[in-house]
């Protein structure tokens, strides 16, 4: 639909146009999204209600689960509904909102992962000063800075999206709105905008990934001086964090650090970090963390007792 040579809505082609495969997409996204909600909300409730999980590490884990929930919600529900429709359309305004929410919560997750790495570095490398350095006020300020930084990053994405002129066609070869597929529809030279996109999103992903992996190398090096029991517990926590970092950053780096060219596997890689990672995060943190599992058991026991009463 056109208005003064401007596209006012887009058609999302989705993952497939085949009716049978669209049913599979519907079931897949619905199951993964429900699992994401259940897992992350369980972690959120457990951390908020358990006195045993009041350390800075779980303070940051709370916000990681919150960002995962919102990040997945910005994409999955609409994809589920679109899989049932013959033609999935999205207005220009809704598309811009989705770009903002996707990048806001995705960037927030990156910053929270960095804060979790900082927390582990201080806990392992400066244990005597841990509670002084990572006190509640400092953690609150760091999270606030993460929210502000994510907002600035997302506003840059919105500015880039609004600067693109769209004259048609209006078919987005993707299942959600993002700058890369929008660049292909713009009726102007997008070289500069693509360069800004790579230097913004691509740089954030790549630099953050290198910083995180370097920090965990330093942490693992310092673990040599710890006792066997302390080393085993810290190593288990760090391995969990490293798994989350790799699962999230590798697909993002592949998508956001190259020119505006598309490959057949782009959509599947996007599925992995937009739907898969928010589901895997709570699984990784609960299955590998004894304190979280114990807190969940106590929460469940309290619920059963209250139900009996």
Domain ranges of the chain: 2-293
Q: State percent of the chain over pLDDT 90.
A: 34
What's the whole-number mean pLDDT along residues 264-286?
Answer: 84
pLDDT by residue (tens digit) across 186-198? 888 778 888 888 8
Max mean pLDDT range (63-67, 160-164, 195-199, 203-207): 63-67
Q: Look up the pTM and report it.
A: 0.88
The fold adopted by the segment(s) 2-293 is Rhopdopsin 7-helix transmembrane proteins (1.20.1070)
Is the per-residue pLDDT at 47 higher than 50?
Answer: yes
Q: What is the pLDDT of residue 292?
A: 78
- Cα separation values, 265 from 21, 41, 55, 77, 180, Å: 16, 31, 40, 22, 14
* Mean pLDDT along residues 28-34: 94
- Does 22 or 164 have the greater pLDDT score? 22
- The pLDDT assigned to 305 comes to 55
pLDDT in tens, 113-168: 999 989 988 988 888 888 899 999 999 999 999 999 999 999 998 888 888 888 87
Q: Of residues 31 and 276, which shows the higher confidence score?
A: 31
Provide the pLDDT for residue 304: 52
Structure tokens, 221: 């090096």
Instruction: Give the lowest-confidence range in 16-25, 58-67, 145-154, 237-246.
Output: 237-246
What is the structure's pLDDT at 262?
Answer: 64
Higher pLDDT among residues 26 and 273, named by residue: 26
């Amino acid at each position: 639909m056109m208005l003064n040579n401007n596209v006012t809505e887009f058609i999302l082609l989705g993952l497939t146009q085949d009716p049978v495969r669209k049913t599979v997409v519907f079931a897949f996204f619905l199951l993964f999204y429900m699992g994401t909600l259940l897992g992350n909300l369980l972690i959120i409730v457990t951390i908020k209600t358990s006195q045993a999980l009041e350390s800075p590490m779980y303070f940051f884990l709370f916000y990681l689960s919150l960002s995962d929930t919102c990040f997945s919600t910005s994409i999955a529900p609409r994809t589920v509904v679109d899989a049932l429709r013959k033609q999935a359309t999205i207005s220009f305004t809704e598309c811009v909102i989705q770009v903002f929410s996707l990048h806001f919560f995705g960037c927030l997750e990156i910053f929270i992962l960095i804060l979790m790495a900082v927390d582990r570095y201080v806990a392992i490398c400066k244990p005597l000063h841990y509670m002084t350095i990572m006190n509640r006020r400092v953690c609150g300020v760091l999270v606030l800075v993460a929210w502000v930084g994510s907002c600035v990053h997302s506003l840059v994405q919105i500015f880039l999206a609004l600067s693109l002129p769209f004259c048609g066609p209006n078919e987005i070869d993707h299942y959600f709105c993002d700058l890369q597929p929008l660049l292909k529809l713009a009726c102007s030279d997008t070289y500069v905008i693509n360069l800004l996109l790579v230097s913004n999103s691509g740089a954030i992903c790549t630099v953050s990934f290198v910083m995180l992996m370097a920090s965990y190398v330093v942490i693992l090096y310092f673990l040599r001086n710890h006792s066997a029991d302390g080393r085993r517990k810290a190593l288990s926590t760090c391995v969990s964090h490293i798994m989350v970092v790799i699962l999230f950053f590798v697909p993002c780096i592949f998508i956001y650090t190259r020119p505006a060219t598309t490959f057949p596997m782009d959509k599947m890689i996007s599925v992995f970090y937009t739907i898969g990672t928010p589901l895997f995060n709570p699984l990784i943190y609960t299955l590998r963390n004894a304190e979280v599992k114990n807190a969940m058991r106590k929460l469940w026991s309290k619920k059963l007792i209250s139900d009996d009463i």
